[in-house]
Amino acid sequence: MCFELTDFQITLNNEALFEPFSLHIKAGQIGAITGPSGSGKSTILSDILGVLPAIFSRSGNIRLNEKDITGLPTGQRHVGIFFQDDLLFPHLNVFENLVFGIPAKLSKKEKAQKISSALSHAGLQGFEKRDIATLSGGQRARISLLRTLLSEPKLILLDEPFSKLDEELRDQFRSWVFKQIQLQDIPAVLVTHDARDIPESAVKIELEVSYA
């Protein structure tokens, strides 16, 4: 499993948002993109997801496992995303949220087993029937990441994943997230403005804002 961006650049009205760059990450590895706000970090993620607004245009390639994915609709890219807001579905309970992304080919029983073991890994054993609204911020963040991982993405995008958590929770959650990604053995792209969020082993890209 690998993910690469080559000579990647996004322009708006013929003005580049940043200098072109390339990024190559392998399974279990994290590519960290930093840069000042307005430099287009989140726009890069939108493009990888396939929801780039048409006013932008891109040059360069996006390849996941050697395959160009730029022509694929969002649903077929097998890219998972984790936002700063947990975006758990408020009308579903924990189990229903988690089962939402699990591939349909699995049996009911297998799905239940997967969820139960994932929850206990996350220290949330027996939370299946809980209402999302009754959980703490940290619990919700963990379930949200689990939900993304359970959908078995081939790449995971992390959009300012820790910025809304308080200091104490943040350190704890950060190392838990990276561990999960390693366990899952997929590449990950992290976007953040905070250097503390970037693990040592990450491939780092700092966007250079291009001024026309």
Cβ-based nearer residue to another protein, 33 or 99 = 99
Contact flag: residue 181 with another protein (CB under 8 A) = no
Angstrom distance (rounded) from CA 76 to CA 150: 16
Which listed residue (91, 105, 108, 196) binds another protein by CB under 8 A?
91
Looking at 35-43, 71-79, 113-121, 184-192, which segment touches another protein (CB under 8 A)?
71-79
Contact flag: residue 142 with another protein (CB under 8 A) = no
CA dihedral 126, 132, 135, 137 (to 10 degrees): 130
Looking at 16-24, 46-54, 183-191, 198-206, which segment touches another protein (CB under 8 A)?
46-54
Looking at 18-26, 50-58, 118-126, 166-174, which segment touches another protein (CB under 8 A)?
50-58
Assign 43 to helix, strand or coil. helix
Which listed residue (44, 62, 79, 188) binds another protein by CB under 8 A?
79
- CA-based radius of gyration for the chain: 17
DSSP strand E in the chain: where?
A: 2-12, 15-16, 21-26, 30-34, 56-64, 67-68, 79-82, 155-159, 188-191, 203-206
Cβ-based nearer residue to another protein, 4 or 47 = 47
Cβ-based nearer residue to another protein, 71 or 200 = 71
Contact flag: residue 60 with another protein (CB under 8 A) = no
Angstrom distance (rounded) from CA 133 to CA 48: 31
In whole angstroms, the minimum distance from the beta carbon of 173 to another protein comes to 19
Tokens standing for 141? Answer: 């963040």
Contact 202, 30 (CB under 8 A): yes
Which listed residue (78, 111, 164, 174) binds another protein by CB under 8 A?
78
Report the Cα 99 to chain-centroid distance in Å: 18
Query: Where do contacts with another protein occur on this chain (CB under 8 A)?
Result: 49, 51, 53-55, 73-81, 83, 85, 87, 89-93, 100-101, 131-134, 147-148, 151, 153
